[in-house]
Amino acid sequence: MVLWVMVPVENLLDSKILNFIDSHKLEQFMTDDELVIFRASRDDEQLRNSIGWKFENAWPLAWYFGYKEPEIDGAMMSGEQMQELLQNFTCSLDDNLKE
């Protein structure tokens, strides 16, 4: 979901995200509200703001796994920081989750 609203489509195609969700049957783990996100525009600023605050919980986990120590200033994590975390600290969309 974070990829859908935080990474521009020119950097990550819709089909790549949707194929990953489908191939790993991830819909079964999503709420109805979460599924709605994938029917929304990837440029939806309201969705971006709502999911951005939830993504703040990724700071301690990323830091634990080697991301640079975050500056704790009360501001929401930037889009660039989110993209860096997603690219370097998550499963590749080309990989199998079981691996």
The region of weakest confidence among 5-14, 16-25, 82-91 is 82-91
- Predicted pLDDT at 46: 87
pLDDT tens profile 61-93: 777 878 777 666 766 677 777 777 777 777 788
* pTM for this entry: 0.73
| pLDDT top residue among 51 and 10 | 10
Residue 59's pLDDT band (cuts 50, 70, 90) = confident
Shortest CA distance to 59 belongs to which of 47, 45, 48, 75? 75
Q: Token match 């195609």: residue?
A: 13
List the chain domain ranges: 2-88
Q: Mind spelling out the 3-state secondary structure of the chain?
A: CHHHHHCCCCCCCHHHHHHHHHHCCHHHHCCHHHHHHCCCCCCCHHHHHHHHHHHCCHHHHHHHCCCCCCCCCCCCCCHHHHHHHHHHCCCCCCCCCCC
